[in-house]
Amino acid sequence: MAMATITILGINGHASRAVATAFFKRGWRVIGFGRSNKHPMEGVEFFSGDAGNVEDMAAAIRDADLVFNGLNLPYHQWGNGAAEGLIARVIEACGKTGKTLLFPGNIYNYAPTDRVITPDLCQTPQTERGRIRVAMEARLAEAAARGDIRVIILRAGNFYGSDMNGGFFDELILRELDKGKVCLNPARNVKNAWAYLPDLGEAFAILAERRAEFGPFENFHFKGHLKTADETFAAVQAVVPNKLIQTGYPWLMLKAMGVFMPIIRGLVEMRYIWDYELGLKDPRLDAILGENFGTPYEEAIANVVRQASATERKAA
């Protein structure tokens, strides 16, 4: 029997690499699509191409049983139909093949008052980025309804735990770890949703291997870790021998920077996901993944801190 194949669109992204690793470990053939192979990975066959070109993507997808959409635009480039155009090109590249497309959803689709986000909850986005995400998912639902493709959305909170630096955790929370500072949500007792990327990648792989059991369009919610800033700080402090200081996100400074920097302005627009508790709940997915699925939060944070420290030492 031929080895099952997945094509990862946008192989250089944080989530894409976690998904590629999970599938490779489970015996899949993995094809990674991108403009450059700047982060080569064991077990990933690189396919060079431009996401702006449907033919390039179609060629990368042709031999695949599944496709993971890891393509994303910088915050400030989502508007004017750009993000919707990107997902439209992915759908077109998949063609009328019935292939399954895996799509990483987020919590932008929901309102600050939606404290418990379940798959059947009505989506009421409060920001332009939220409305764009809803529109993108609507395009996927329409393609699935036509029978062109099958779709599995796995929605999750804030990503952390990439195998390379440059993510939110590295760039903001641990940015001054070498100075004894940890930058966290000023609303210290508000629980925020976190998704440890190695676990999320594994969840995608498990769903992919059970795709025959699902309908043409599925929306799962990955609960991950729902933790306060104080709990995150305690997890970081448990790994670091010296005493740390907890500081808050510099919202006023970021707001001022956003006047001149559109990407920062987009970050400030999504502040509500830090000010309000937005937890994900999905008993169906929990049953599929199993009772003991996932890495304990303290262990996951320890892995992230050790990796960040190793990266700093290497850079020095």
| Rounded-to-integer distance, Cα 214 and Cα 279, Å | 24
Q: 192: closest CA among 106, 128, 120, 290? A: 106
pLDDT for position 310: 65
> Strand, helix or coil at 158?
strand
Do 140 and 102 form a contact (C-beta atoms < 8 A)? no
| Rounded-to-integer distance, Cα 21 and Cα 172, Å | 25
Return the bridge partners of 139, or none: none
Q: What distances in angstroms separate CA 268 from CA 19, 73, 185, 255, 275, one per listed residue?
A: 28, 17, 13, 6, 11
| Rounded-to-integer distance, Cα 36 and Cα 32, Å | 10
Domain ranges of the chain: 5-159+195-223, 160-192+226-315
Joined together, the tokens standing for residue 146 give: 């036509």
pLDDT for position 216: 98
pLDDT for position 311: 57
pLDDT for position 276: 94
How much of the chain is in helix, strand and coil states, percent to nearest 5? 45, 20, 35
Query: For 257-292, b where at least 16 C-beta lie within 10 A, e where not — what string?
Result: ebeeeeebbbbebbbbbbebbbbbebeebbebbeee
pLDDT for position 34: 97
Do 159 and 15 form a contact (C-beta atoms < 8 A)? yes
| Rounded-to-integer distance, Cα 50 and Cα 40, Å | 17
Answer whether CATH 2.40.30.10 is correct for domain 5-159+195-223.
no
Do 259 and 265 form a contact (C-beta atoms < 8 A)? yes
Do 157 and 300 form a contact (C-beta atoms < 8 A)? no
255 contacts: CB under 8 Å, gap ≥ 6: 268
Taking each helix axis from N to C end, the angle separating 262-269 and 251-258, rounded to the nearest 10 degrees, works out to 130
pLDDT for position 90: 98
pLDDT for position 167: 78
Per-position pLDDT tens, the chain of length 316: 568 999 999 999 999 999 999 999 999 999 999 999 988 999 999 999 999 999 999 999 999 999 999 999 988 889 899 999 999 999 999 999 999 999 999 999 999 999 999 999 999 999 999 999 999 999 999 999 999 999 999 999 999 998 777 778 888 899 999 999 999 988 889 999 999 999 999 999 999 999 999 999 999 999 999 999 999 999 999 999 999 999 998 889 889 988 888 878 888 888 999 999 999 999 999 999 999 999 999 999 999 999 887 655 454 4
pLDDT for position 2: 64
